[in-house]
Structure 1
């Protein structure tokens, strides 16, 4: 017979005292490390939960303890632990603050599967949770715990979402929910209605995004605060946001995509240092969430966004390999954008890609003017730290070719590039006839520069759709040295349409081409946007050009737009008419090289654009 412990209390006293004992003073992340046990059936790292493996989840989980926050939105890729964070919040509620809970999955079948394979094992693996779980009284879609119940529902069964008052609402993979119909309301709205009677309610919503019109992306855009995770560079110490465009891999010919991806590393956007997979754990450990947008002083809805680059389970090489394998397949690339970059996919109507640009290489070397060209125009995209420039040769029927492009650090360099002489193979020399310079950034400096170089430079300003393609206006800023000077207003989307359509033409008459051995960086930038359908406020659909991914650089594309607009100002569309008047043969391109310099000079002399 076991010996009775001294000073022990009888059951009729000890049991009531256990119920009166206050819960531990723990945050969700602290609770998880103390009580959460992962099993080998649902986790690659079974055993006790360790916050140091996925430190970016700590702040998300602890936001659940913020009494001011009503709604937490987590926009995520796959393989970063988002669903496990949801399970930790659920376990915390069961032990620390028992109240009615509802978890909504895309379908009833998925809800049953998660209950059987993940939730019930989680409750049974942890002794404190097991003591709270009433397995005998539970069903697969309703788990009974001490002082509460957990209702598991599918978004495809709206009637089940409208019958239970609940305090804690968890919405998992919301972009896979069915949409609202004429007979039934939006399942998310129906579920949220169940929380109205609880002033201290909490709603956690998570999903991989699909489209910009999807539930999770719209929820993030409507949040009061949006946060991104930033990590310190191991070389310069600056806090950086991990972006896909900074993953670099070898470009040697002869290597397969899989082999190239194996050598992929991350290049710090601040110092250029090489960051490897071995650096990632320490970077994540010292990372922090930073607010990138705050709409109110008293936020109630807080959104978090992260991509696969932060996942401790995925190497940089795996991400590069997935991109290289999917970039030419629209369906596969959509999965990459959604599930790896955690960005919405656009309903693309007009597509371009870097490989298409590189197919447009001609026999002409860099800086060499094609035999058929009759004039050159330039474009400059002005950024805070540098200037991206391009020079394009033009011939009859809008035939064009990029002969040079680059990145300058000052306007002095732009002046040198645009005033340099460029030659044909027969020795004829050309200079840039007109260059459009972006005045949206560093406006005063651009105006002053164009005023000093007015014979070849004109400031450019983008305008909304409405003008045919361009319009000449006047700078009316009295304090500027460029007061009274011409200002070129450009509808960028219309020129991007023309670039994309002519890029699709095979090399020859009317095609948009590039020089021999053109670099891929330029090709990536001039195809960094695609045209998509978007809904306006009135419910109408219109097509606009947007970046394919949020971090994509499109500076060379903007520069090419300005070069095209500059050519339009010089009446480039009428070149073939002038040549016919001069009895030149222009039926085949390239053919126009006879007396092209004389024609160039006569053409520019006869037009009046200022």
Structure 2
């Protein structure tokens, strides 16, 4: 350097905004006329130089390969490699496209959703700085991700490590401030205030289907979108395993939707894997599958070749995203990505098959897991009518009203108590162990006197002339109108049952309560009084939803197959409508009466009939001519000789 005076322009010559070269030249000439030194040295800090540099353009996935280091808390620590998560490449690169504002990534657990977000976050800090919201379902989850993944990523990734503030307070779990001005705000969806104060250019929203609605302002998705409104080029990243809330419907609503397809290692075709092509041996149980997981395979949708787990892993590595919605949209504003658990090798085919078998057996939890965790779609509860009118009419027995079928062991009366009448059904129960069910009569009776006549005076006969009377029955105790005691007939029912002991009063109880599906309670006094019931009563408490499930199951059996209930030939559409008014909400698992469809009283009587069959399992004998009734002759051993 010459003897000319050095000029330090760190503070004086650098404006807040970047000036053109010509502007700087004019400024220097006007300020330094007559005292221009031989050489000028500009002392610019590293942070300012970082802001002034023009970053090299590259996709997010390329940036991750070049710089990103995965922390020890990750399943695959060390340098980020695209072959470990090939499906995440397209997701991250799409997020960085200048015209894309939102990305929705719907996939199974442990499918690199969080890591894809963190990759985009690191890229934005280094290449396109702006404030960031990182939102998790809860405060604990947000702190855990920051402490175990985000902060270690910042410390280990070279371009980001240079930007970490030396102040300890700037790298806390409350907020992270970078040297280039980026602020990262951790937020949690169950707190409206955690996202209400600050604005951000980027929002990264993890496990959105675990978010809870808080307050009355709006849902958390809309609330997050508001925080980025002031930025012209804002971006949102939503990721989650579906749970029936936001992610699947949000992804499907995007202008363009892409779904991951595996490439068959045999024919080379891209296919979208599904449960229909999983090979499960006929009749296999969960235990069978666990004993021999190798028996489960997958048949290619295109060529039919059978894959094992190695083929499936290879098909995933060679797979690609295909556009299933909006192929003509070349610059979509929002893009949804769908990845099913069937496609990923992390979820074994045997585990998927076990869930399918359990779901087909009616396990509600397995049905949800199959939809949410494996197919990665929203589970649609089967809220449907028990059966349509004409369906029930198919179950006519071929016998007229009051005719007892051959092979009957016992008749049972079921009565549903109303304020001024009784709906009833009379069922014939066959011998053990099958205990077939045939309904021989139904109707409405106005009074207890009419019920008594049916109990004690009516005689029924089968085709051989064998006579039957009612031997047992269940009657609704009439105490379901809580708070309206004047409409309850419980006292009347208890009094009547104490005089007609073959009738057992019943009460429906909540099916989720602990205990057996049928429990018994001794009732000593009339409800609301201290007056004792002569001899006391035993009331049967029924978990009615269980028996409604069983009735619905039996009505799904073909009429000529074992286990199907049959009804006398005089049933009509008016009777059948009672069976369509009950619907099951599989989301809650509860049966509900759709009053718009009419009355459901005969359905209730049939439910009681199913419960009575359960009670009779220990009372009904085997058929008299059943060989099992003949006791085997004993062998008598005496002095070394024996005889049969």
Give the 5 Å matches for 1:336-485. Answer: 336-349=370-383
1:84, distance to aligned residue in structure 2 (A): 0.7
Any conservation in 2 of the 1:98–1:146 contact (CA below 8 Å)? no
Query: 2:365 and 2:321 mapped to 1: Cα distance?
Result: 32
Q: 1:331 to 1:253 in 2, by over 3 A?
A: closer
Q: Which residue of 1 aligns with 2:298?
A: 266
Q: Which residue of 2 aligns with 1:36?
A: 68
Q: 1:69 aligns with which of 80, 83, 100?
A: 100
Deviations 1:293-315 (A, max 9, x none): 22984521110101112224333
1:502 matched to 2:555:
yes
Q: Which runs of 5+ in 2 are unaligned?
A: 1-39, 387-405, 407-437, 440-550, 568-582, 588-593, 597-644
Query: 2:595 and 2:123 mapped to 1: Cα distance?
Result: 46
Any conservation in 1 of the 2:355–2:369 contact (CA below 8 Å)? no
1:110 matched to 2:163:
no
Query: 1:106 and 1:329 mapped to 2: Cα distance?
Result: 28
Query: 1:533 and 1:323 mapped to 2: Cα distance?
Result: 17
1:62, distance to aligned residue in structure 2 (A): 0.4
Any conservation in 2 of the 1:223–1:301 contact (CA below 8 Å)? yes
Question: Which one is further off, 139-148 or 95-104?
Answer: 139-148
Q: What secondary structure does 2:162 align onto?
A: helix
Query: 1:291 and 1:532 mapped to 2: Cα distance?
Result: 34
1:112, distance to aligned residue in structure 2 (A): 1.4
Q: Which residue of 2 aligns with 1:283?
A: 315
Q: 1:508 to 1:207 in 2, by over 3 A?
A: closer
Query: 2:142 and 2:154 mapped to 1: Cα distance?
Result: 16
1:178 matched to 2:212:
yes
1:531, distance to aligned residue in structure 2 (A): 7.2
Q: 1:60 to 1:532 in 2, by over 3 A?
A: farther
1:257 matched to 2:320:
no
1:158, distance to aligned residue in structure 2 (A): 0.5
1:11, distance to aligned residue in structure 2 (A): 10
Query: 2:41 and 2:225 mapped to 1: Cα distance?
Result: 45
Deviations 1:304-331 (A, max 9, x none): 1011122243332332244446665322
1:240, distance to aligned residue in structure 2 (A): 0.6
Query: 2:385 and 2:88 mapped to 1: Cα distance?
Result: 36
Q: Which residue of 2 aligns with 1:195?
A: 228
1:335, distance to aligned residue in structure 2 (A): 2.7
Q: 1:326 to 1:262 in 2, by over 3 A?
A: farther
The number of residues matched between the two structures is 371
Query: 1:286 and 1:93 mapped to 2: Cα distance?
Result: 29
Query: 1:508 and 1:330 mapped to 2: Cα distance?
Result: 23
Q: 1:279 to 1:11 in 2, by over 3 A?
A: farther
Q: 1:10 to 1:31 in 2, by over 3 A?
A: farther
Q: 1:128 aligns with which of 122, 143, 159?
A: 159
Deviations 1:110-159 (A, max 9, x none): 11121112211221222322222226123202111122010010111112
Question: Which one is further off, 335-344 or 46-55?
Answer: 335-344
Any conservation in 2 of the 1:251–1:260 contact (CA below 8 Å)? no
Deviations 1:514-544 (A, max 9, x none): xxxxxxxxxxxxxxxx97689xxxxxx999x
Q: 1:40 to 1:75 in 2, by over 3 A?
A: same
Q: What secondary structure does 1:185 align onto?
A: coil
Any conservation in 1 of the 2:261–2:343 contact (CA below 8 Å)? no
Q: 1:274 to 1:348 in 2, by over 3 A?
A: same
Query: 1:531 and 1:60 mapped to 2: Cα distance?
Result: 39
Any conservation in 2 of the 1:533–1:542 contact (CA below 8 Å)? no
Q: 1:220 aligns with which of 251, 262, 275?
A: 251
Q: Which residue of 1 aligns with 2:150?
A: 119
Q: What secondary structure does 1:309 align onto?
A: coil
Query: 1:71 and 1:30 mapped to 2: Cα distance?
Result: 21
Q: 1:48 aligns with which of 79, 94, 99?
A: 79
Query: 1:93 and 1:223 mapped to 2: Cα distance?
Result: 23
Query: 1:342 and 1:209 mapped to 2: Cα distance?
Result: 6
Q: Which residue of 2 aligns with 1:82?
A: 113
Any conservation in 2 of the 1:249–1:261 contact (CA below 8 Å)? no
1:22, distance to aligned residue in structure 2 (A): 1.8
Deviations 1:34-78 (A, max 9, x none): 11212332x222211111122111111001121111111111111
Q: 1:259 to 1:121 in 2, by over 3 A?
A: same
1:167, distance to aligned residue in structure 2 (A): 0.6
Query: 2:247 and 2:307 mapped to 1: Cα distance?
Result: 31
Any conservation in 2 of the 1:79–1:311 contact (CA below 8 Å)? no
Q: What secondary structure does 2:203 align onto?
A: strand
Give the 5 Å matches for 1:542-581. Answer: none
Q: Which runs of 5+ in 1 are unaligned?
A: 1-8, 353-371, 373-395, 398-497, 512-529, 535-540, 544-610
Q: Which residue of 1 aligns with 2:444?
A: none
Q: 1:308 aligns with which of 299, 323, 341?
A: 341
Query: 1:292 and 1:40 mapped to 2: Cα distance?
Result: 37
Any conservation in 2 of the 1:161–1:187 contact (CA below 8 Å)? no
Query: 1:174 and 1:542 mapped to 2: Cα distance?
Result: 36
Query: 2:300 and 2:80 mapped to 1: Cα distance?
Result: 31
Any conservation in 2 of the 1:53–1:312 contact (CA below 8 Å)? no
Deviations 1:483-536 (A, max 9, x none): xxxxxxxxxxxxxxx99661269624539xxxxxxxxxxxxxxxxxx97689xx
Query: 1:192 and 1:253 mapped to 2: Cα distance?
Result: 49
Q: 1:300 to 1:309 in 2, by over 3 A?
A: same
1:100 matched to 2:122:
no
Q: What secondary structure does 2:194 align onto?
A: helix
Any conservation in 2 of the 1:261–1:320 contact (CA below 8 Å)? no
Query: 1:11 and 1:139 mapped to 2: Cα distance?
Result: 35
Q: 1:64 to 1:261 in 2, by over 3 A?
A: same
TM-score normalised by structure 1 residue count:
0.55
Query: 1:531 and 1:271 mapped to 2: Cα distance?
Result: 40
